[in-house]
A and B are shown apart, each in its own frame.
Chain A
Amino acid sequence: MTEEPVADLGVFDGPLATLGGPYNNHLALRAVLEDARRRGAERIICLGDLGGFGPNPGKIYPLLAEFEVVTIAGNYDRSLAERLADCGCGYTHPADNHFAQLSYDYTNRRTTDAERAWLRALPAAGRMTRGGRRWLFCHGSPRRVNEFLWESGSSDTFLERLARDASADQVLCTHTGLHWQRLLPSGARFVNVGAVGRPANDGSPTVWYAFFPAGASEAEFVPVAYDHEALAREMEGEGLPREFVETIRTGWWTTCLEILPAKERARGKY
């Protein structure tokens, strides 16, 4: 990560929204961005993985521009930028990879050269000073773009080390699709902001992002409802797998489940 460009996000203490994983879900992204603006967010940061899962990838980019979102590169964005053969999500199970490949191939086919060039220019991380503390914005973990930081799979000592090695007092990440935060014994804080492109495997079709009121370091996780039925119909029209459509309608994950640790897996339906 150290050799890759890091965006300097300056000093900012105002209301801040941070979101992850739009996954082509343009309807959810718009709803989240409007919600953030309504709450008074003066800056909005997206932690990457614009593509995958949902329909019509091209609809994401104008939204990011309209709401002046600062975007950090996810593994998906890097793969599309470099025309790689797969999304680089880091799944290890063949069943997970099977479905990941379907959505990657779909998205890859529909990504334009101009979009790839835009993705290639995204920074690998962002740094901000907030409340006098050093905030690091990344996709997977501070050290690897596709590392999964699950709540039940990350020990305090490990997170302390990641924060220390990254010279950060607060780390914001996504990649898992499930939101959580933890204040560590040292006072450092990890916030996984979740994903706005896919519901949180909780039986509700709403999606989640993280809002930080002025001066705050503790995240308020915000559930956002959107017209998920319209998205489901658009996905069906695009011929996307019915397993993906079911997740949008029900809020339960149906694919890429093998990677989940026991606790996170047990909370879901499948």
Chain B
Amino acid sequence: MQTKTITVVIDENGNSTIDLGGFRDNSCAKVAEDFRGGDRVTKEHRKVSCLQDAESQVQRHTGR
């Protein structure tokens, strides 16, 4: 099982990026919310690895 990690980078302007890695379920939405705090989201996207994981999960499900 891949380790779940959260990396927060706070830039020189005081703004941040939140990078969630290793999440294979929908818990990442809650985790992202925990780390966002009251901040305003300016950009958000799922990572490529995540889309591939989701795709393979769908294929497994349809194969049953």
Does B associate with A? no
A residues with a Cβ closer than 8 A to B are none
